[in-house]
Structure 1
């Protein structure tokens, strides 16, 4: 497996420098775009990594997988009344669809959907502080690493420049699909998006989705197998914003990206993979990371198709 990773590292290196970092979040604008790391954790706990696989970065929208897992566990099918399960076909921060679909987001991985999920967790855990602490504790549980924390500089930067997300939340509140204070919920949302992890930690933390909802190392059942199947299916169809179809076409695995440059992917029954390269393509997904995952499934045949 390490030989495959080394091959991929060599083949994607000429692409480094293409794309752009997430400049609209000032705290991320100065990240070195030439970085690349890739890590794999197998269901038996073995892991392999190349490049900057232990370099910490802001996981951004990858955190939506963890928050959605908690919300699905808390509300089960009742959650689908507030956030749907369909690809959006629009940019991740679009207001247009939300307007003509009465304030119900298409899926939990676009910004509006993840903000509603966060609102549901604030209601379930009674305060925004408790909701965030539960999300972070769940990530600690999934990763087996309690050192994982928030980058407060990134969180503050996002809050100070989060006008479009405030607009999304306010629009949903006007339609009655938002229960708590907009600013408090968004503070929780930005904090969980600003959690910092590396590729090795991320690949470890996604193993429960590669094993029917049960962590194969600790043997703890985090969600049931049906819920794991539903989360994986949403990652396949909605995990890469309006480029989700292209990612499924090229890579053929359930995955979730973040504008911090990370992507996670799941090979059911076998492993979880994480890549990191901060320069993004036009859809807000890691340009080199996407290519690395395409090469991985091509070289190994480990696609779900």
Structure 2
């Protein structure tokens, strides 16, 4: 198996080289616009403890919307199914930062992984944690055994200075009674969580509990029940790639979460997790090379068929 996985990663690494330059970095956030675009890393963490990596898999990058997965897990652990009184469970079909549906649906975001939904999740956590950034970092540090993991102050400030649409969404939801804290405080927390920096290897390790019935392999912590982990994976499959979720489900067929920093973390139930990073994005805001790399991995490995059969 080890030889096969290494060969698959080496094959993918070679195949993606001609794709550099076909996307563009997230230049609407000034700090991200300065990221070197010609980078690619891919890491795999298996439920049996084995790890594989290729390229820039150990380089830290801004996880951005991938953080929404982990804050959602924290909120689910905190209030359980009460979360669905404030957020829906349906794909939006609109861009991740769209406000279109909020008025017709009375300030209830479609799902936790679009910006409006993630802001509500952050609002929920802001009620519980005086220092939400530390709560999230401590969770991720435990999952990765990386005590130095942190968020980037420059990226957080850059994002906060340009967060006008997110602020508008927060105030709009507050007008419907679906926001408790001040939008300013929630936006501060939200921008810090998005500015968390991790590598492919760390992200693959952090998400392994979703491939293992909610149990984290490294720490032995039961992060979620088996049923809750299955439901999180279902939402990642249907809502994790912005308004390209249907296309990703068709091409790749895995629960996954993307981020405009160029990262994608994907779950192969009963087998492991994969994280891929390349900063150049496609028109939907997902990593152009990352999407290709995940699709090729599933074609080469056949893991999607194996996980469904288990």
Aligned residue pairs: how many? 302
Distance 1:225 1:272 in 2: 16
1:104 to 89, 108, 111: 108
Instruction: Find the counterpart in structure 2 of residue 45 from structure 1.
Output: 49
| Secondary structure at 1:39 match in 2 | strand
CA displacement 1:226-282 (0-9 Å, x = unmatched): 111111111100000000000011111100000000000011111110000000000
CA displacement 1:3-52 (0-9 Å, x = unmatched): 11000111111111111100000000011111111000111221111111
Runs of 4+ with >3 A deviation: none
Distance 1:228 1:97 in 2: 28
RMSD: 0.9
Residue pair 2:75, 2:125 contacting (<8 A) in 1 also: yes
Instruction: Find the counterpart in structure 2 of residue 75 from structure 1.
Output: 79
Distance 1:30 1:132 in 2: 24
1:18 to 18, 22, 43: 22
Residue pair 1:144, 1:205 contacting (<8 A) in 2 also: no
Distance 1:15 1:81 in 2: 43
Residue pair 1:43, 1:217 contacting (<8 A) in 2 also: no
Structure 1 unmatched ranges of 5 or more: none
Distance 1:239 1:91 in 2: 12
Distance 1:70 1:155 in 2: 21
Residue pair 1:44, 1:217 contacting (<8 A) in 2 also: no
Instruction: Find the counterpart in structure 2 of residue 118 from structure 1.
Output: 122
Distance 1:116 1:141 in 2: 25
| Secondary structure at 2:303 match in 1 | coil
- Output the TM-score relative to the length of structure 1: 0.97
Q: Give the C-alpha shift of residue 216 in structure 1.
A: 2.0
Residue pair 2:143, 2:219 contacting (<8 A) in 1 also: no
Residue pair 2:142, 2:219 contacting (<8 A) in 1 also: no
Q: Give the C-alpha shift of residue 147 in structure 1.
A: 1.2
Instruction: Find the counterpart in structure 2 of residue 239 from structure 1.
Output: 240
Q: Give the C-alpha shift of residue 217 in structure 1.
A: 2.8
Residue pair 2:151, 2:192 contacting (<8 A) in 1 also: yes
Q: Give the C-alpha shift of residue 213 in structure 1.
A: 0.7
Instruction: Find the counterpart in structure 2 of residue 88 from structure 1.
Output: 92
Residue pair 1:60, 1:192 contacting (<8 A) in 2 also: yes
Distance 2:142 2:27 in 1: 32
2:8 to 4, 8, 11: 4
| Secondary structure at 2:275 match in 1 | strand
Instruction: Find the counterpart in structure 2 of residue 185 from structure 1.
Output: 186
Q: Give the C-alpha shift of residue 285 in structure 1.
A: 0.2
| Matches for 1:1-305 after TM superposition, within 5 Å | 1-125=5-129, 127=130, 129=131, 131-303=132-304
| Secondary structure at 1:196 match in 2 | strand
Residue pair 2:281, 2:287 contacting (<8 A) in 1 also: yes
